[in-house]
A and B are shown apart, each in its own frame.
Chain A
Amino acid sequence: MSSGCDDMRADQQILIDWIKPGSRVLDLGCGDGALLHCLMQQKDVSGYGIDYEDERILASMARGVPVIQADIERGLSEYFDDDSFDYVIMSQTLQALSRPDQTLLEMVRVGRQAIVTFPNFGNLDNRAQLLFKGQMPVTESLPNEWYNTPNIHLCTVRDFEKLCRKLGLRVLESAVLNERLHRNLASRLAPNLFGEVALFRVERLTR
């Protein structure tokens, strides 16, 4: 039997490493269910995925991942009590929400910890495109034009840290990967400049 973890991206692998075996996990924007499936297989995790798109629901179900079809910006309050999960994870979805701040608060309400990954808009490539071309950046991780992008709330690593302070969230762990999704020296020393993808594990300061 396969480990259920083929083709995990480097950022997903870090996230997987952060999660304690046997945890209960809620995966917001679970997509095709691959990440949660991997966690179920490798870490003996239980829980649910949430997504809205029919195709992704079907893919998750085909993997045997329990999945709830809901709008993640409304579903959490409808379905879950406080502290229902050890982790609420959200991979590469934060920037597509209409109110990322409110969803973050919901995540740390229904989960003891939240893990968020997002594209770092402060990265050198983005800055250079804006500076030299005077145009909204189009990159490998953000391939859409400004007018058709689902990524309506892009932020930088620094923006995210600032939001965490404002919302009363403690950063327990973070990682920033460069464009090849490696953790190299540059992305460690100046994450907001050289990081392409950021991961944060946070909890509420007061419970």
Chain B
Amino acid sequence: MPSQLPDDSVGLVTPQTLHFAAPLTLESGSVLPKYDLVIETYGTLNTNKDNAVLICHALSGNHHAAGYNSMDDRKPGWWDTSIGPGKAIDTNRFFVVCLNNLGGCDGSTGPTTPHPETGKPYGPDFPIVTVKDWVESQARLADHLGIQQWAAVVGGSLGGMQVLQWSIAHPDRIRNAVVIAAAPRLTAQNIAFNEVARQAITNDPNFHGGRYLEQGAVPEHGLRLARMLGHITYLSDESMGAKFGRELREGKLQFNYDIEFQVESYLRYQGASFVGRFDANTYLLMTKALDYFDPAREHGDDLSAAMRTAKAKFFVASFSSDWRFSPSRSREIVRALLDNDLETSYVEIESPHGHDAFLMPGTYYQSAFQNYMQRVAQECAA
């Protein structure tokens, strides 16, 4: 981390672990008898408790969205570009809550947690949790924190799906819904990418049917491949071209199968660093949650009908070069919101950075996000 904390950083933050003793019945019918959620919070909850903002993370995210956990951290939290004093999600105005979702691998109950009956890691026995389940667990988190209604629930990608689910399932508990680079459900192509990632993991000889922790093994190769594939789809042809082009690592062709192009080196680095911080079973579970999310399904594939219960005001944003969650998918969401006469603002942002653009600073993106969140802040008591 920088030797001095930047002025617009939330600074040093410490995660907390909350214990939930009431069983949670999941969409699949399985029951989690008890569970932990790890959270970080930034800013201060006002006396009216009406300035709370929930951040929902995406596939590989966690509760550490902003600031630094220690003075030795190399990088701040995953959404530090948007959360902090004076930033779009202004911690001078809002009380920001971010959690590691159930099934995660950063402290909340998930496949790496010991099973309460056996004491061994859940591994493949951890039940599949869905976006609906996450939102229910987040609602209990809100209860625990004494937050009756969020000023806003905010998320990008898979996080945006959780925001949509909040607006549908708990319309009275969410005033504003911020849905960035999301989709109302995955396309076949998107599910296909997820399936290749899962196959890479489950076919790794070190996967051991998901019980690799008990075997003291890690399905490293599979997880790397899954991450490399994912990473390609989060970038755009344009941004990869600009970043790496056809640049050679050694300056000349080697005529062998080692790393030659810089892009190969980059992908291998991304894959390798992911293995150190992420659990393979969690990756499988997160991709399934993505695949399953489809609120229109119970309404004859009519998203407008699915959104009928929603009451929140919406801010929806998409990025031009995002082909994994393309602008046309956000327009489907917008169409459903307009069909229900919901107060909606939608921005289509020109960006070369593909799906990852939602995590990166961009002038127009930040300004639009900030303009919206300022209106949200004005609705809150001082």
Contact at B344–A58, with CB atoms within 8 Å? no
Chain A residue nearest in CB terms to B318: A69
The answer to whether A64 and B375 have CB atoms under 8 Å apart is yes
Q: Does A80 contact B368, Cβ atoms closer than 8 Å?
A: no
Q: Is the Cβ of B346 less than 8 Å from the Cβ of A69?
A: yes
Q: Is A66 an interface residue (CB 8 A)?
A: yes
Q: Which of B28-36, B266-274, B334-342 is found at the contact surface with chain A?
A: B334-342
Instruction: Produce 1/0 per residue, B319-347, CB < 8 A to A.
Output: 00000000000010011001101011111
The answer to whether A58 touches B368 (Cβ under 8 A) is yes
Q: Complex Cα distance A62/B348, Å? A: 17
Contact partner, A80, options B338, B343, B371, Cβ 8 Å = B338
Specify which chain A residues have a CB less than 8 angstroms from the CB of B335 in the assembled complex.
Answer: 78-79
Task: Decide: B364 and A58 in contact? CB cutoff 8 A.
Answer: yes
Size category of the B interface is 20 to 34
Assess whether A145 is interfacial by the CB under 8 Å rule. Answer: no
CB distance from A18 to the nearest CB of B (A): 22
Bound Cα distance from A70 to B350, whole angstroms: 13
Q: Which residues of A contact B193 (CB under 8 A)?
A: none
With A48-B338, A66-B345: A54-B371 Cβ-Cβ less than 8 Å? no
Of B338, B341, B375, chain A has the most CB atoms within 10 Å of the CB of: B338
Interface string of B351-371 (1 = CB under 8 A from A): 000000000000010011001
A94 in the interface, Cβ–Cβ < 8 Å?
Answer: no
Select which of B334, B338, B345 is within 8 A of A61 by beta carbon: B345
Residue B372 CB within 8 A of the other chain: yes
State how many angstroms separate the Cβ of A107 from the closest Cβ of chain B: 16
State whether A54 touches B345 (Cβ < 8 A). no
Chain A CB within 10 A, most for which of B343, B346, B350: B346
Sample (12) of A-B pairs whose CB atoms are under 8 Å apart: A54-B347, A54-B368, A58-B364, A58-B368, A58-B371, A61-B375, A62-B374, A66-B345, A67-B346, A68-B346, A78-B335, A79-B335
List B residues at the A interface (Cβ < 8 Å). Answer: 313, 331, 334-335, 338-339, 341, 343-348, 350, 364, 367-368, 371-372, 374-375
- A residues engaging B (CB < 8 A)? 24, 46, 48, 54, 57-58, 60-62, 64, 66-70, 78-81, 84
